[in-house]
């Protein structure tokens, strides 16, 4: 350091070495200083009187360049924006005769901007005026920049914290908030973060709807140090329950001591609702709101997997509505839908909350009843269901009745997997249909083989007509007054090469399903008319033959077809009677009345079959051109045992007579039933007591006997 060369008037305190030290030592000391020592005048341009070698490193100028402003003044080096501030601060310190410390920017010789820290003091003359300024200037750019970076990072963090859409929190492990951002306050419904911190002091009890969630949160924190996508239901300040998802971690100090938890909170109620909605749609039937086939399978799978109480049964119950197809086809889908909804509600009302009622599709419902003690308890539920479904229901101003056929399989006795249980319940349901509907059947092993033939049956039924495998049997109808034969009912049989003689109840429903009932029905009509004509031509007793009509046959083209058959067989219409089921009369009234009128005009008779099992009312019958009612055999069977059945039979007879209708009782099997019917004014009877359905040959014989007894 060229002390002398760089100083004009050296301050003895700075530049003159003590007598015992060499100036060389001072030179070295100053040169090693990381900064610049100066003495400058307190004038317009702060002219430097002394300046140490550090000047070059600090400013990029040689000390000589600044000395007495030879090249540039120090003031010029100060950033223009800071000059005023620097002067003001120094002036203030001088006025107080104190030291000054200032941070400001300078522009180096190479144009670089640097931050400097200056520490100095005024040197005063004895009269108090300022003689000079002495001090030290150091480059602090790096520190400034890292401070700046820190401030920037802090500012950014603050901004994220304050402006995040997600809630951000820090909590103590004991469950109090240390810090929260405005978003969390908003999510939880508090006025401000402060309001939340003050009001929500016990997270476990005040926040979580399920207290155990907090325990689970703590457990995960302890075991794994963090939670991710931790979903819970929480209370907002106003008590509303919302769903949140938390991501959080435990923060420890260097010694491993747990300090606090910090994390984020996302409000996910909408997503949850949406997910629930999607899940619901995927697992529920849109019409009835009941669980659908998918959910049924999952539920049943679970039900048979969980350990059950010893000897407890799980019942799988197939409920199928009788003649639903017919209602849907004839009354329209809207009414069909209404009916399905009504039935769904009724089924639900018959079982416990823990049982499942699902819609399997169409008019099929499946119930899963768990923990049933024995068959009796299942039977009780089934009886409730039969009664509930059979209750009348209204659509507009009309009242309807529908019944159901039910099949039940039991876990574990009837199957140990979902497929088998469902298949066997379905088989049992078909058995219930065959047994005359409106009843329930438990699965039995033998049904398995029969019903596995269902598909085969449909295939062979299609071929049966061509192969001439159908036969008609005839059952006598007898006058109650004198026991004479006054008619015959034609009943179809199927002589199947594989299955032997098949009863109509077993194949007519299939024929209806497969759309084969119309050609089969036409065959029956032709055959019965031709047979009756043949008996007449053989000189036997002239009686009407009754033919059963499936609802599906009863359309506008039927009268023409019947006329054609009568013409072909040359049978007079008075010797033909058509039996329609009770449900047919409920068919679209206008069209049905027109078709029945057209049929009546041909001169034949019409009777209503299975009366009492369906949903027609007597008064409704008034509108239909029918001649007779057939009381269903289920009432006749119970006449002696059941007061209700006896009362119904009596009422039907007298009301039918008021409407000028003949009454025929079906299924009369003994003398007691016959007596009862006779005493109560029934007109005709039919049943095993008077003759079973018999082949043409047998019936011919019967007619011949009848004729000879008359003669």
The rounded distance, in Å, linking the Cα atoms of 493 and 468 is 11
Query: Which of 319, 331, 492, 703 lies at the binding interface for ligand C2E (CB under 6 A)?
Result: 492
CA distance to 1, 27, 41, 48, 78, per residue, from 52 (Å): 7, 9, 15, 10, 18
Grouping H, G, I as helix, E, B as strand and the rest as coil, residue 319 is strand
**Inter-residue contact 53 to 34 (CB < 8 Å):** no
688 part of the interface to ligand C2E, by CB under 6 A: yes
Question: Could you count the other beta carbons within 10 Å of the beta carbon of residue 553?
Answer: 22
609 part of the interface to ligand C2E, by CB under 6 A: yes
**Could you tell me the smallest distance in angstroms from the CB atom of residue 687 to ligand C2E?**
3
**Could you tell me the smallest distance in angstroms from the CB atom of residue 670 to ligand C2E?**
9
**Inter-residue contact 227 to 233 (CB < 8 Å):** no
669 part of the interface to ligand C2E, by CB under 6 A: yes
244 part of the interface to ligand C2E, by CB under 6 A: no
**Could you tell me the smallest distance in angstroms from the CB atom of residue 581 to ligand C2E?**
7
Task: Return the number of the residue (609 or 684) whose C-beta is nearest ligand C2E.
Answer: 609
Task: Return the number of the residue (69 or 405) whose C-beta is nearest ligand C2E.
Answer: 405
The rounded distance, in Å, linking the Cα atoms of 431 and 649 is 27
3-state percent breakdown (helix, strand, coil) of the chain, nearest 5: 45, 25, 30
Query: Which of 193, 504, 544, 559 lies at the binding interface for ligand C2E (CB under 6 A)?
Result: 504
476 part of the interface to ligand C2E, by CB under 6 A: no
Which residue matches tokens 């082949």? Answer: 695
Task: Return the number of the residue (139 or 610) whose C-beta is nearest ligand C2E.
Answer: 610
Q: Which stretch binds ligand C2E (CB under 6 A): 282-290, 328-336, 403-411, 503-511?
A: 503-511
Query: Which of 246, 414, 666, 683 lies at the binding interface for ligand C2E (CB under 6 A)?
Result: 666
613 part of the interface to ligand C2E, by CB under 6 A: no
**What character string, x for contact with ligand C2E (CB under 6 A) and - otherwise, covers 535-564?**
-------------xxx--------------
610 part of the interface to ligand C2E, by CB under 6 A: yes
**Could you tell me the smallest distance in angstroms from the CB atom of residue 428 to ligand C2E?**
20
Task: Return the number of the residue (668 or 677) whose C-beta is nearest ligand C2E.
Answer: 668
The rounded distance, in Å, linking the Cα atoms of 243 and 615 is 51
**Could you tell me the smallest distance in angstroms from the CB atom of residue 506 to ligand C2E?**
9
DSSP string covering 524-589: HHHHHHHHHHHHHHTT----PEEEEE-GGG-STTHHHHHHHHHHHHT--GGGEEEEEEGGGGGS-H
The rounded distance, in Å, linking the Cα atoms of 36 and 140 is 12
Q: Per-residue b/e over 610-642, b at no fewer than 16 CB within 10 Å?
A: bbbbbbbeeeebeebebebbbbbbbbbbbbeee
Q: Which stretch binds ligand C2E (CB under 6 A): 45-53, 427-435, 568-576, 684-692?
A: 684-692
H/E/C letters for each residue in 613-647? CCCCCHHHHCCCCCCEEEECHHHHHCCCCCHHHHH
**Inter-residue contact 230 to 248 (CB < 8 Å):** yes
Residue whose C-beta lies closest to ligand C2E: 687
Query: Which of 421, 524, 599, 653 lies at the binding interface for ligand C2E (CB under 6 A)?
Result: 524
Residues in 309-368 at the binding interface with ligand C2E, rule: CB under 6 A: none
Q: Which stretch binds ligand C2E (CB under 6 A): 119-127, 281-289, 361-369, 666-674?
A: 666-674
The rounded distance, in Å, linking the Cα atoms of 400 and 392 is 5
Q: Which stretch binds ligand C2E (CB under 6 A): 140-148, 175-183, 442-450, 680-688?
A: 680-688
**Inter-residue contact 634 to 403 (CB < 8 Å):** no
**Inter-residue contact 358 to 296 (CB < 8 Å):** yes
Task: Return the number of the residue (124 or 688) whose C-beta is nearest ligand C2E.
Answer: 688
The rounded distance, in Å, linking the Cα atoms of 706 and 27 is 156
The rounded distance, in Å, linking the Cα atoms of 477 and 495 is 24
Surface-to-core class of residue 6, CB atoms within 10 Å of its CB (0-12 exposed, 13-18 middle, 19+ buried):
buried
Q: Which stretch binds ligand C2E (CB under 6 A): 128-136, 142-150, 325-333, 502-510?
A: 502-510
Residues in 211-230 at the binding interface with ligand C2E, rule: CB under 6 A: none
**Inter-residue contact 546 to 488 (CB < 8 Å):** yes
The rounded distance, in Å, linking the Cα atoms of 83 and 99 is 18
**Could you tell me the smallest distance in angstroms from the CB atom of residue 520 to ligand C2E?**
7
Looking from the CA of 523 toward its CB, the CA atoms found within 13 Å total 18
Query: Which of 162, 380, 505, 513 lies at the binding interface for ligand C2E (CB under 6 A)?
Result: 505
The rounded distance, in Å, linking the Cα atoms of 538 and 425 is 51
**What character string, x for contact with ligand C2E (CB under 6 A) and - otherwise, covers 433-472?**
----------------------------------------
**Could you tell me the smallest distance in angstroms from the CB atom of residue 314 to ligand C2E?**
34
Q: Give the residue among 396, 392, 425, 393 at the shortest CA–CA distance from 408.
A: 425
Task: Return the number of the residue (410 or 552) whose C-beta is nearest ligand C2E.
Answer: 552
487 part of the interface to ligand C2E, by CB under 6 A: no
Task: Return the number of the residue (299 or 637) whose C-beta is nearest ligand C2E.
Answer: 637
**Could you tell me the smallest distance in angstroms from the CB atom of residue 709 to ligand C2E?**
22
Helical (H) or strand (E) element with 87: helix 80-96
503 part of the interface to ligand C2E, by CB under 6 A: yes
614 part of the interface to ligand C2E, by CB under 6 A: no
**DSSP state, residue 35:** S
193 part of the interface to ligand C2E, by CB under 6 A: no
Q: How many residues bind ligand C2E (CB under 6 A)?
A: 24
Residues in 632-661 at the binding interface with ligand C2E, rule: CB under 6 A: 633
Task: Return the number of the residue (342 or 475) whose C-beta is nearest ligand C2E.
Answer: 475
Task: Return the number of the residue (476 or 559) whose C-beta is nearest ligand C2E.
Answer: 476
687 part of the interface to ligand C2E, by CB under 6 A: yes
The rounded distance, in Å, linking the Cα atoms of 463 and 328 is 28
Task: Return the number of the residue (133 or 528) whose C-beta is nearest ligand C2E.
Answer: 528
Task: Return the number of the residue (295 or 571) whose C-beta is nearest ligand C2E.
Answer: 571
The rounded distance, in Å, linking the Cα atoms of 352 and 369 is 8
**Could you tell me the smallest distance in angstroms from the CB atom of residue 459 to ligand C2E?**
20
Interface residue list for ligand C2E (CB under 6 A): 475, 491-492, 503-505, 508, 521, 524, 548-550, 579, 609-610, 633, 666-669, 686-688, 693
């Amino acid at each position: 350091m060229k002390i002398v060369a760089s100083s004009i008037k050296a301050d003895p305190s700075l530049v003159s070495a003590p007598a015992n030290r060499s100036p060389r030592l001072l030179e070295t000391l100053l040169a090693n200083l990381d900064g610049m020592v100066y003495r400058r005048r307190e004038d317009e341009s702060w002219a430097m009187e002394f300046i140490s070698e550090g000047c070059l490193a600090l400013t990029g100028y040689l000390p000589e360049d600044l000395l007495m402003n030879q090249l540039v003044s120090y003031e010029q080096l100060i950033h223009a924006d800071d000059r005023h501030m620097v002067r003001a601060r120094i002036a203030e310190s001088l006025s107080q005769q104190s030291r000054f410390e200032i941070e400001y920017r300078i522009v180096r010789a190479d144009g670089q901007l640097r931050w400097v820290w200056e520490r100095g003091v005024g040197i005063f003359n004895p009269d108090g005026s300022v003689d000079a300024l002495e001090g030290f200037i150091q480059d602090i750019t790096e520190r400034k920049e890292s401070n700046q970076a820190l401030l920037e990072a802090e500012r950014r963090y603050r901004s994220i914290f304050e402006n995040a859409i997600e809630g951000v929190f820090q909590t103590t492990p004991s469950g109090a908030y240390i810090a929260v951002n405005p978003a969390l306050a908003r999510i939880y419904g508090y006025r401000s973060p402060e309001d939340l911190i003050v009001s929500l002091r016990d997270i476990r009890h005040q926040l979580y709807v399920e207290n155990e969630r907090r325990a689970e949160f703590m457990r995960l924190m302890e075991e794994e140090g963090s939670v991710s996508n931790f979903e819970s239901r929480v209370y907002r300040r106003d008590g509303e329950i919302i769903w949140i998802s938390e991501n959080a971690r435990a923060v420890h100090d260097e010694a491993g001591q747990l300090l606090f938890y910090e994390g984020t909170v996302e409000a996910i109620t909408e997503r949850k609702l949406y997910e629930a909605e999607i899940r619901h749609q995927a697992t529920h039937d849109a019409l009835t709101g009941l669980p659908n086939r998918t959910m049924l399978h999952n539920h049943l799978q679970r039900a048979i997997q969980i350990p059950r109480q010893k000897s407890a049964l799980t019942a799988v119950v197939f409920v199928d509505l009788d003649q639903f197809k017919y209602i849907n086809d004839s009354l329209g889908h809207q009414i069909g839908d209404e009916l399905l909804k009504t039935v769904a509600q009724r089924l639900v009302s018959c079982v416990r909350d823990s049982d499942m009622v699902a819609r399997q599709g169409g008019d099929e419902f499946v119930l899963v009843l768990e923990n049933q003690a024995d068959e009796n308890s299942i039977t009780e539920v089934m009886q409730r269901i039969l009664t509930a479904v059979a209750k009348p229901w209204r659509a507009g101003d009309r009242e309807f009745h529908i019944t159901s056929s039910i099949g039940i399989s039991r876990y574990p006795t009837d199957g140990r997997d979902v497929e088998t249980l469902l298949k066997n319940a379905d088989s049992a349901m078909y058995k219930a249909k065959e047994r005359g509907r409106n009843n329930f059947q438990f699965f039995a092993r033998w049904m398995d083989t029969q019903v596995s033939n269902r598909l085969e049956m449909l295939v062979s039924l299609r071929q049966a007509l061509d192969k001439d495998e159908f036969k008609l049997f005839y059952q006598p109808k007898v006058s109650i007054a004198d026991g004479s034969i006054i008619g015959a009912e034609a009943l179809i049989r199927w002589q199947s090469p594989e299955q032997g003689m098949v009863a109509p109840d077993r194949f007519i429903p299939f024929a209806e399903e497969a759309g084969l009932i119309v050609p089969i029905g036409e065959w029956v009509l032709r055959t019965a008319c031709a047979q009756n004509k043949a008996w007449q031509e053989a000189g036997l007793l002239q009686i009407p033959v009754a033919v059963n009509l499936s609802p599906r046959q009863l359309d506008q083209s039927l009268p023409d077809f019947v006329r054609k058959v009568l013409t072909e067989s040359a049978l007079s219409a008075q010797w033909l009677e058509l039996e329609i089921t009770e449900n047919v009369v409920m068919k679209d009234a206008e069209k049905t009345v027109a078709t029945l009128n057209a049929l009546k005009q041909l001169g034949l008779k019409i009777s209503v079959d299975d009366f009492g099992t369906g949903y027609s009312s007597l008064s409704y019958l008034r509108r239909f051109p029918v001649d007779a009612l057939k009381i269903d055999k289920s009432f006749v069977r119970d006449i002696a045992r059941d007061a209700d059945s006896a009362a119904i039979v009596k009422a039907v007879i007298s009301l039918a007579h008021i409407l000028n209708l003949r009454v025929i009782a079906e299924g009369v099997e003994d003398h007691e039933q016959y007596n009862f019917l006779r005493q109560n004014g029934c007109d005709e009877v039919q049943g095993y007591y008077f003759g079973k359905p018999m082949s043409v040959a047998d019936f011919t014989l019967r007619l011949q006997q009848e004729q000879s007894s008359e003669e």
